[in-house]
Amino acid sequence: MGRPFRTSTWRALLGRAVVAADLGILFGVCAVATALGVGTRDWDLAAAAEYSCIGAVVALTLMGAMRSWDSQVIGQGAEEFNRLVRAFLGASLVLALIGYLFKAEGLRPWVVGVVPAMGAGVLIGRYLIRRVLHAARRENVCMASVLVIGSEDGVADLVARTRRVPHHGWSVTAACTSTGPVDGHADLDGVPVVGDLDEVAHHVAELGIDVVAVSPTPGWSSRRLQSLAWALEGTGVDLVVDPGLMEIGGPRLHVAPVDGIPMLRLTEPRFDGVTRAVKAGVDRLGAAALLFVLAPVFLTLAVLIKRDGGPVFYRQERVGLNGSTFRMVKFRSMVVNADQMVASLAATNEAAGPLFKMKTDPRVTKIGTTLRRLSLDELPQLFNVLGGSMSLVGPRPPLACEVATYADDARRKLLVRPGMTGLWQVSGRSDLSWDESVRLDLRYVENWSPALDVNILCKTLGAVLLARGAY
């Protein structure tokens, strides 16, 4: 299925939809606050309207200052939400300062109530728009056409990645390699090789390309890249360069110019400090709150599991932070002697690497099938989070026998606490290959940030409800 309209058209429509939704939500919240007389004692609508105008102007100004409507971030990654959060936090601070300087006590409820409500509304609106966009992209609509410059391996890798995550909005439609097409034609995983490195600009114009992605390739010099950038000026085509630092990005990459040459500065991943202490505190508070709220669920599941006979909980030794071991607790979803049956079922193992997985596992109990499909068997891990051996978000907690087979890169997973959920869970869980699971865990370790944790937690709910890769 091809794209029904040009990229410039859907990008413009997306931008207008986002602006309209943001303004509608902001003014809607302001209208409600005015009608309720927020900030006034005697239901003074004129004063409430004045506060509404001040609040709306400050919020819109901060959203503009944070470039919340930048087309490069709308619908892409966590940066869109990061900018919105910073904008509304800034708006609350500015209103607090205005209230202090001008003795405007009526702004207090706006600082602690109305502006946060604005922010929450806008975030929900952006999330819903993104869901619609991602649904369209799964049908190959609202996609940007990409021409890849690179080696055959580099082209094949990028094609596989874009097909695995269509919600990113890239569709590789052509490639240029150092050798070009052989005998007038070539094909890499369904993508035609249309030319060599000297024909890139020509094919960009001929094919109506939206993005040119440059990966490391023999024969591609900085001078050639500069010439291509000049050739693409004024065309509206995005030029994206892969620095060759796979799975590393976000807060660890910085541009540090040296005598006019932009150099990428790669900072070390941070595994301690204030942010990690905050993460540990949030983990424990979150686990305690969830255990309190879910107490009736725990009791119900315990009764159902007990009816199958055997203990309610299953405890297994796992490897955690810095290689230390701990007892991970789960609701029992298998027969009592499940561990002793692994050897006899080895021939039917459907997982790669040291993992053992079966889509139809004879060891799973009747209630266990439902528990595993909805990930309810993992709820008792909240006790591990409360005790500090696990985190709400992190790499998958491995078995000691798995760690014994780890290469040096996989051992980096042990630099952080394992999590109840992580990139592996929101990206397919048991459907992932061993290499993909390791890659996602390492991506988390290398690029951890509070925003990434929030993003994963939000996606976990959808992954659990849809039972993607759960068995």
pLDDT in tens, 55-67: 999 999 999 999 9
Would residue 367 count as lying in a domain?
yes
Three-state secondary-structure class, residue 219? coil
Query: Are residues 294 and 390 both part of a single domain?
Result: yes
Please state, in angstroms and rounded to a whole number, the distance separating the CA atoms of residues 315 and 299: 18
Given 242, 265, 298, the domain boundary residue is 242
Query: Are residues 122 and 153 both part of a single domain?
Result: no
216 Cβ neighbours under 8 A, 6+ residues apart? 150, 151, 154, 242, 244
CA torsion angle 412 413 415 418 (round to 10): 180
Query: Are residues 125 and 170 both part of a single domain?
Result: no
Please state, in angstroms and rounded to a whole number, the distance separating the CA atoms of residues 73 and 80: 5
Query: Are residues 310 and 219 both part of a single domain?
Result: no
Query: Are residues 133 and 152 both part of a single domain?
Result: no
Query: Are residues 114 and 150 both part of a single domain?
Result: no
Please state, in angstroms and rounded to a whole number, the distance separating the CA atoms of residues 80 and 60: 15
Would residue 226 count as lying in a domain?
yes
Would residue 269 count as lying in a domain?
no
Please state, in angstroms and rounded to a whole number, the distance separating the CA atoms of residues 131 and 461: 14
For 138, 170, 261, 400, the CA distances from 405, given in Å and listed in that order, are 37, 36, 42, 9
CA 220 to chain CA mean position, Å: 32
Would residue 257 count as lying in a domain?
no
Answer whether 63's CB lies under 8 Å from 89's CB: no
256 pairs with which residues across the strands? 263
Q: What is the DSSP letter of 268?
A: P
Q: Which residues of the chain, if any, have pLDDT below 70?
A: 1-6, 182-185, 245-251, 254, 259-260, 270-272, 340, 342-344, 346-359, 428-432, 465-471
Please state, in angstroms and rounded to a whole number, the distance separating the CA atoms of residues 422 and 19: 32
Residue tagged 């001929």 (tokens): 206
Answer whether 416's CB lies under 8 Å from 270's CB: no
pLDDT of res. 291: 96
Would residue 453 count as lying in a domain?
yes
Please tell me the total count of domains within the chain.
3
Please provide the distance, in angstroms rounded to a whole number, between the alpha carbons at the two ends of the chain: 32
Would residue 252 count as lying in a domain?
no
Would residue 259 count as lying in a domain?
no
Q: What is the DSSP letter of 112?
A: I
Q: What is the mean pLDDT of the chain?
A: 85
Query: Are residues 159 and 295 both part of a single domain?
Result: no
Sequential DSSP letters for 318-329: EE-GGG-EEEEE
271 pairs with which residues across the strands? none
Query: Are residues 152 and 133 both part of a single domain?
Result: no
For 162, 306, 351, 375, 403, the CA distances from 301, given in Å and listed in that order, are 40, 8, 28, 12, 32
pLDDT of res. 2: 42
Would residue 248 count as lying in a domain?
no
pLDDT of res. 450: 79
Please state, in angstroms and rounded to a whole number, the distance separating the CA atoms of residues 236 and 185: 28
Given 242, 265, 284, the domain boundary residue is 242
Residue tagged 């010439």 (tokens): 227
Q: Specify burial of residue 328 (Cβ count, 10 A radius: 0-12, 13-18, 19+).
A: buried
Residue 150: give its domain's CATH number: 3.40.50.720
Residue tagged 């993508």 (tokens): 191
Please state, in angstroms and rounded to a whole number, the distance separating the CA atoms of residues 152 and 73: 30
Tell me which residue range forms the domain holding 62. 7-138
| Nearest Cα residue to 250 out of 446, 425, 440 | 446
409 Cβ neighbours under 8 A, 6+ residues apart? 438, 442
Query: Are residues 61 and 106 both part of a single domain?
Result: yes
CA 143 to chain CA mean position, Å: 19
Query: Are residues 129 and 166 both part of a single domain?
Result: no
What is the amino acid identity at position 117?
A
Query: Are residues 113 and 212 both part of a single domain?
Result: no
For 266, 353, 395, the CA distances from 253, given in Å and listed in that order, are 5, 32, 22
Given 86, 110, 138, the domain boundary residue is 138
Query: Are residues 132 and 178 both part of a single domain?
Result: no
